[in-house]
Structure 1
Amino acid sequence: MSARVTMKDIAAELGVSINTVHKALTGKAGVSESVRAKVNDKAEEMGYHRNTSASSLRRKDINLVFCLPCASREGAYFYRYLWEGCNRFEQEVIDQGISIERVEFVVGGYADALEHIDERLQVGEKIDGLLAYVPGDDRATHLLEQIAEAGVAIELVDGDRPHFDRLGASLADYSTAGSLMAEQAANLVHASGADARVLLLAGDPYTDSHYLTARAFHNYLRDHNVPWQVEDLTGAHAQVKQLERELKARLSSSEAPELICSVFAVGSELVADTLVSANKAGEVMVIGNDLFPESALALRRGIFTNIVYKDPVGLAYRGAKTLGDYLLWGKTPADPVQKGAVEMVFASNVDRYCKLAGI
């Protein structure tokens, strides 16, 4: 008896990816009608028969890789909670035949981590799905494209790159985050009667979550005719020392800001530490981003006025669950881009949010 024809065989005959063949044969979006016709014609020619009962239940030997930033050092402020979301998903599927491998990378090491995954695929290792951090440079993007071409289902976390073949993306609503921060900033300044000297720690302009939040902050002020002159301090993890020096200089000047906002977690912690060391805690209004033990403590002590909470635990959990549901049951999300809720945290409700985040 001849061997059963597989999607891999059809892909090899046509010179396309297994993922393309899968989409064509199962009627999913993402391929042109001409490609779909070619795949179906080739499948009929080769005698391919889809096992509908097997496809409805899926294999129980699914291998997932979670590739996210390291949770240590600066990663403890935000990325730790992405991993917590992954932990919660893993506990849910512990008896469902899913094998999960964790790949953590340090700042600047993402492309190297992806290259190693790609090399494993090239030598025949089986990886069904990849929960991947959104790429920030061309090399990481190219490697993710190669991994997708190898037939791996990819779900992005904390951003999106819709131009390549990913299953979907799970991210916070950064536009809402920036607008909410700007609205609360306007409320605080108006209520205090203070002058509007505002300092925005705008983060890394090449990081989606930073750039989009900062842009939305400025757009809100412009659209609502708020006549502030906002000074941006750019820079993120690799520029912490420089940001610290610049922040100290602003605080010690005769025109120190009345309000400081940060679009990212490390910047929020930096603001709290600098205010304490400069003996100015409680003298400046502060809206931080992201909830972690240090920011929650700063809110309780009155160092922060508010915190913008983007629920990284839920963000990663939704991404992992989307990937698992697709590989186990063939379920795809109604909308490939899932945006999580963004909320404003006050001292009065911080305990509730800490409980949700597992802090």
Structure 2
Amino acid sequence: MNKTITIRDVAEKAGVSVSAVHIALNGKKGVGEEKKVLIKRVAAELGYQPNAMASMLKQKRKTIAILLPSEEGDNKYFFPQIWQGIHDVIQRQKVNFSYLEFPYSTANHEQVRTELLKRIQGKEIDGLLTAGHEDVLSEEDWELLESLETKIVVIHSEKPGRDVLCCIEPNYDVIGRTMAELISSRIAGYGSIFIAAGNPKYASHNLVMRGFERYLRENQIYNMIYRDFSWTMDEINYIHILREISRPDVASCCAVFSQGTILLGRALEESGKASRLFSLGTDLSEETARRLKEGIFDNVIQKNPYAEGYLGLWALIDYFLNGNRPERKIYVGADVVFRSNIEMYQNKNHTALLLGK
């Protein structure tokens, strides 16, 4: 049986100390360049392979906090896939890391903030994964995180003015342009468009709208646009959407966010206009997938929430394990889903499709 080559074997062959081998092979300072070249050559000749698991176990255990909207209530139309991506990473990378999950909703903001702040003040948090639009932490809380040099990754949108490792999000401008191209290619120049445009204060809503409008302007497309800027799933907002798509001049409709897609789908069903309007939804929740299969929606733009969660947590882990600083902005791809290809996005198929596993 072949003998396993150890770091001591490399040290003896190169005529140096074990610590010198460790320093040279890990790219640290303390060994001259000639000696470093010698050590690397000897290690290669002997076929030395560092024990990655042992190296990891010697590192200080890191704690990563995850502060994101919960999977309950209206959040169920988007955030379950983000959490699934996160949990898949946690299953892969348990050694040397602890994970603290802080799912929040409007009902438990203060409770979640109190618990997380206690951990932050106790210097128990090394890294934080959160959404750029989160509103749990105060400005003072963020200043505390930065003063403690906590490593932060934001997903879904930027956190303006804050020092973060990176932001992982869809390219909202491209999504808006794609939606505009799909719609303008399917309706006449005199048909009006209704858009459930969401909250203009949310970058994930506003940037899609800007991309949509920019595409129309650049291509000299002048269809009338009706916009609805509500973003909560109240009955009064639903009634307004129902009334808007019932206008006789409306030829197409779309929503830029998941909850708006749910309300728009319901309005299309109850108005009987599903077969008469070209309709686009976003974010493939179970309810929206059903409506796509049934022809209520013609297409759905899938913004890749699974990859946001997966890559967001992995960026922190890779930084702590290997010192790899991610690109400041990482875009995840978005797809146009049809009835003909929806199976690729269901039953966990999207985990392979969207990450290229």
Question: TM-score normalised by the shorter chain: which range applies?
Answer: 0.7 to 0.9
- Which one has more relative contact order, counting CA pairs under 8 Å at least 6 apart? 1
Aligned to 1:205, the other structure's residue is in SS state coil
Is structure 2 residue 218 aligned with structure 1 residue 226? no
Instruction: Summarize the Cα distance change of 1:184–1:252 in structure 2 as closer, same or farther, 3 Å threshold.
Output: closer
For 1:61, the equivalent position in structure 2 comes to 61
The corresponding residue for 1:217 is 212
Specify the alignment match of 1:9 in structure 2: none
Three-state SS of the structure 2 residue aligned to 1:188 is: coil
1:266 matched to 2:265? The reply is no
Paired residues for 1:237-256 under 5 Å: 237=232, 240-253=234-247, 255-256=248-249
Q: Secondary structure at 2:197's aligned position in 1?
A: strand
Greater displacement, 256-265 / 136-145: 136-145
Aligned to 1:36: none
Conserved 8 A contact 1:111-1:139: no
In 1, are the aligned partners of 2:56 and 2:96 still within 8 Å (CA)? Answer: no
**3-state SS of the aligned residue for 1:258?**
strand
1:200·1:261 contact (CA, 8 Å) conserved in 2? yes
CA drift of 1:178 comes to 0.6
Q: Which amino acid aligns with 2:64?
A: L
Contact 2:113 2:136 in 1 (8 A): no
Asked if 1:336 corresponds to 2:334, the answer is: no
CA distance in 2, matches of 1:337, 1:110: 28
Q: Per-residue deviation at 1:256? A: 4.8
For residue 138 of structure 1, report the CA deviation from its aligned partner: 10
Shift of 1:58: 7.3
* 1:227–1:349 distance in 2 versus 1, CA, 3 Å: same
2:325 and 2:55 mapped to 1: Cα distance? 14
Structure 1 window deviating more from structure 2 (264-273 vs 105-114): it is 105-114
Identity, in percent, stands at 26
User: Which of 287, 291, 302 is equivalent to 2:280?
Assistant: 287
Deviation digits for residues 32-80 of structure 1 (CA, Å, limit 9, x no counterpart): xxxxxxxxxxxxxxxxxxxxxx999873411111110011121111111
Q: Which runs of 5+ in 2 are unaligned?
A: 1-53, 353-357
Q: Name structure 1 gaps, 5 residues minimum.
A: 1-53
Q: Structure 2 CA distance, aligned partners of 1:231 and 1:71? A: 31
* Structure 2 CA distance for aligned equivalents of residues 102 and 357 of structure 1: 21
CA contact (8 A) 1:289 1:309 kept: yes
SS of the residue corresponding to residue 64 of structure 2 reads strand
Letter in structure 1 aligned against 2:87? N
d(CA) in 1 for partners of 2:101, 2:135: 22
SS for the counterpart of 1:298 is helix
Report how far residue 225 of structure 1 moved.
0.7
The answer on whether the counterparts of 1:200 and 1:262 sit within 8 Å (CA) in structure 2 is yes
Change in 2 beyond 3 A, CA 1:125/1:314: same
- Shift, 1:280, TM fit: 2.5
Whether the aligned pair in 1 keeps the contact of 2:102 and 2:112 (CA below 8 Å) is yes
**Which secondary structure does the structure 2 equivalent of 1:226 belong to?**
coil
Please name the residue that 1:154 is paired with: 152
Residues 196 and 241 of structure 2 are in contact (CA less than 8 Å); yes or no, is this contact kept in structure 1?
no
1:313-333 CA distances to partner (integer Å, 9 max, x unpaired)?
A: 001111100011112222111
1:356 aligns with 2:355: no
Name the CA shift for 1:128/1:86 in 2 (closer, same or farther; >3 Å): same
Letter in 1 for 2:299: N
Task: State which of 225, 228, 231 in structure 2 corresponds to 1:236.
Answer: 231
The two structures, once aligned, show a CA RMSD in angstroms of: 2.5
Alignment pair present for 1:319 and 2:319: no
Q: CA deviation digits over 1:229-287, x for unaligned, max 9?
A: 111100112x532221111222344x252101100011111111122122333222111
Give, in whole Å, the separation in 1 of the partners of 2:153 and 2:275: 42
Q: Please tell me whether Structure 1 or Structure 2 has the larger radius of gyration of its CA atoms.
A: 2
Separation in structure 2 between the aligned mates of residue 203 and residue 65 of structure 1, nearest angstrom: 29
Superposed displacement of residue 105, structure 1: 0.7
Residue correspondence of structure 1 range 96-245 to structure 2 within 5 A:
96-107=95-106, 113-114=112-113, 116-122=115-121, 124-135=122-133, 140-161=138-159, 163-189=161-187, 193=188, 195-237=190-232, 240-245=234-239
Name 1:83's counterpart in structure 2.
Answer: 83
Greater shift, 160-169 or 347-356, is seen at: 160-169
3-state SS, counterpart of residue 99 of structure 2: strand
Q: What TM-score, normalized to structure 1?
A: 0.77
